Amino acid sequence: RITFNNHTEEHSSSGIIVSTKTGSTGWLSSIFNMTTGMRKFLEHQEAKRTSVAIRENELMFVVREPFQSKKTQTSITTGVFADGVDLVVESIMPANGVIFSDGIESDFLHFNSGAVATIRTAEEKAHLVLPASPRSA
């Protein structure tokens, strides 16, 4: 089950990617590459790379492989949110549900039936550090 912006729906997917601006160059970037490729294929023309400018105080989520059925919906598949807004996910998986950080599956929390994850921005922020550009002599 997923709740976002006062809307709740039954949910089935292979997971949810939640990213900060700092993390948007990783797994989230791969999702944008996939959607750009799909647009190229479906529209039979060159597609501009899809991206979203996430601000420092925002999180973006994307549902991986959302599955629509008689019992599950797919209207909540992506969103951007900031302070004061939560993304709430409740597990209905009887076993093998997990939450992990930054693609490191071995560092996980169990997320089985009845567990609830409330995702929101943190007071402390991560910052992307880049090497200084070499100076011309």
Confirm whether 6 is domain-assigned: yes
Helix extents (H) in the chain: 27-43
pTM of the model: 0.78
Residue % of the chain over a pLDDT of 90: 33
Residue 130 lies in a domain: no
pLDDT (mean) for 70-99: 92
Residue in this structure with the two tokens 């909540």, named with its chain if needed: 76
Distance (Å, whole) CA 61 – CA 76: 10
Count Cα atoms within 13 angstroms, Cβ side, for 115. 14
pLDDT in tens, 118-128: 999 888 776 77
Flag whether pLDDT at 43 surpasses 70. Answer: yes
Within a domain: residue 61? yes
For residues 134 and 97, which has the higher predicted lDDT (pLDDT)? 97
Residue 36, in any domain of the structure: no
**Residue 85: strand, helix, or coil:** coil
Domain ranges, residue 94? 2-20+56-119
Does the residue 137 lie in any domain?
Answer: no
Asked if residue 30 is part of any domain, the answer here is no
Q: Is residue 95 part of a domain?
A: yes
CA dihedral 134, 56, 64, 118 (to 10 degrees): 140
Q: What's the mean pLDDT in 14-25?
A: 81
Q: Determine the pLDDT at residue 72.
A: 94
> Could you tell me if residue 47 is inside a domain?
no
As for how many domains the chain has, the answer is 1
